[in-house]
Amino acid sequence: MKITAKLASLLILFTASISSHATFDNAIEHYEEGAYKQAFMWFRSLAEIGHKGAQFNLGVMYLEGTGVETDPVKAYAWIKLSDKKEKKERAFLNEIRQKLNAEQQKEADFFFNSLDKSFSEEALKLALEPVYKPVDTSLDTENEAKPLKTIAPDYPYEAAMKGVEGWAKFAFKLDQEGTPTDIQVMDSYPGDVFVKDSIAAISKWQFETPSDKNQFNKVYKYRLSFELDKNNRKNRSIISEVKEKAEEGDPIAQYYYAKYAPMVERDPEFNTTLWLYKSAQQGIADAQYELAERLLAGQGCEKDKEKAISWLIQSASGNLGRSQFKLAKLFFKVDDKEKAYFWLDKAIESNDSEIALELAEYLYELKDSKYSLDLIIDQLNEADLERVAYPVKHHEFAANLYFLNGQFELAVESQEQAHKVMRKIKRVPDYMQKKLARYEEALATPSS
Q: Is the pLDDT of residue 325 over 90?
A: yes
Partner residues linked to 351 by β-bridges: none
Nearest-angstrom CA–CA distance, 287 and 302? 18
In a domain, 276, yes or no: no
The pLDDT assigned to 138 comes to 46
In a domain, 113, yes or no: yes
User: What is the arithmetic mean of pLDDT over 291-318?
Assistant: 92
Ramachandran angles phi, psi of 97, nearest 5°: -65, -35
Please give the C-alpha separations between residue 26 and each of 68, 282, 344, 347, in angstroms, as whole numbers.
Answer: 18, 11, 27, 23
pLDDT band at residue 128 using 50, 70 and 90 as cut-offs:
very high
In a domain, 60, yes or no: yes
Q: Is the pLDDT of residue 163 over 80?
A: no
User: What is the arithmetic mean of pLDDT over 20-29?
Assistant: 73
User: What is the arithmetic mean of pLDDT over 223-234?
Assistant: 67
The pLDDT assigned to 84 comes to 92
In a domain, 266, yes or no: no
Pick from 4-8, 91-95, 243-247: least confident: 4-8
Which value, in Å, is the radius of gyration of the alpha carbons in the chain?
Answer: 26
- Higher per-residue confidence, 262 vs 229: 262
350 with 321: CB under 8 angstroms? Answer: yes
pLDDT band at residue 2 using 50, 70 and 90 as cut-offs:
very low
pLDDT band at residue 213 using 50, 70 and 90 as cut-offs:
low
In a domain, 57, yes or no: yes
Q: Is the pLDDT of residue 427 over 80?
A: yes
What is the helix, strand, coil percentage profile of the chain, to 5? 60, 10, 35
Total domain count, the chain: 1
The pLDDT assigned to 4 comes to 36
User: What is the arithmetic mean of pLDDT over 344-365?
Assistant: 93
Nearest-angstrom CA–CA distance, 260 and 237? 12
Nearest-angstrom CA–CA distance, 168 and 195? 6
- pLDDT averaged over the chain? 86
The pLDDT assigned to 214 comes to 61
pLDDT band at residue 235 using 50, 70 and 90 as cut-offs:
low
Highest mean pLDDT among 23-37, 91-105, 125-139: 91-105
Nearest-angstrom CA–CA distance, 289 and 308? 8
The pLDDT assigned to 55 comes to 94
The pLDDT assigned to 215 comes to 61
Q: For residue 50, how many C-alpha atoms fall within 13 Å in the half-sphere facing its CB?
A: 19
Each residue's pLDDT tens digit, 42-81? 899 889 988 899 999 999 999 999 999 999 999 999 999 9
User: What is the arithmetic mean of pLDDT over 359-375?
Assistant: 95
Q: Is the pLDDT of residue 317 over 70?
A: yes
User: What is the arithmetic mean of pLDDT over 75-94?
Assistant: 94
410 with 445: CB under 8 angstroms? Answer: no
- Going by DSSP bridges, is the β-strand pair 388-389/220-226 parallel, antiparallel, or unpaired? unpaired
pLDDT band at residue 212 using 50, 70 and 90 as cut-offs:
low
Please give the C-alpha separations between residue 435 and each of 69, 183, 221, in angstroms, as whole numbers.
Answer: 62, 22, 27
Share of the chain above pLDDT 90, in %: 54
Nearest to 404 by CA among 352, 356, 442: 442
The pLDDT assigned to 68 comes to 95
Share of the chain above pLDDT 70, in %: 88
Nearest-angstrom CA–CA distance, 164 and 243? 19
Q: Is the pLDDT of residue 19 over 90?
A: no
Pick from 103-107, 298-302, 322-326, 403-407: least confident: 298-302
225 with 369: CB under 8 angstroms? Answer: no
The pLDDT assigned to 187 comes to 81
User: What is the arithmetic mean of pLDDT over 349-369?
Assistant: 93
Element (H, E) at 147: strand 147-149
Residues 6+ apart with CB under 8 A from 387: 184, 185, 353, 354
- Angle separating helix axes 233-247 and 251-265, nearest 10 degrees: 150
Nearest-angstrom CA–CA distance, 380 and 391? 12
Indicate the burial class of 94 (C-beta count within 10 angstroms; 0-12, 13-18, 19 or more).
exposed
Pick from 13-27, 109-123, 296-310: least confident: 13-27
In a domain, 114, yes or no: yes
Pick from 37-46, 214-223, 399-408: least confident: 214-223
Nearest-angstrom CA–CA distance, 252 and 258? 10
What are the DSSP calls for 404-448, one per residue? HTT-HHHHHHHHHHHHHHHTTTSPPPHHHHHHHHHHHHHHHSPP-
pLDDT band at residue 247 using 50, 70 and 90 as cut-offs:
very high
Nearest-angstrom CA–CA distance, 6 and 283? 14
- Higher per-residue confidence, 230 vs 120: 120
Each residue's pLDDT tens digit, 339-349? 999 999 999 99
In a domain, 165, yes or no: no
Nearest-angstrom CA–CA distance, 225 and 259? 15
The pLDDT assigned to 7 comes to 26
> For 377-383, which contacts have Cβ atoms below 8 Å and span 24 or more sequence positions?
377/401, 377/402, 377/405, 379/348, 380/356, 381/356, 382/351, 382/352, 382/353, 382/356, 383/353, 383/356, 383/357
Range of the domain at 79: 24-128
In a domain, 318, yes or no: no
User: What is the arithmetic mean of pLDDT over 250-269?
Assistant: 83
Q: Is the pLDDT of residue 277 over 80?
A: yes
Return the beta strands (E) in 278-424 as ranges.
388-389
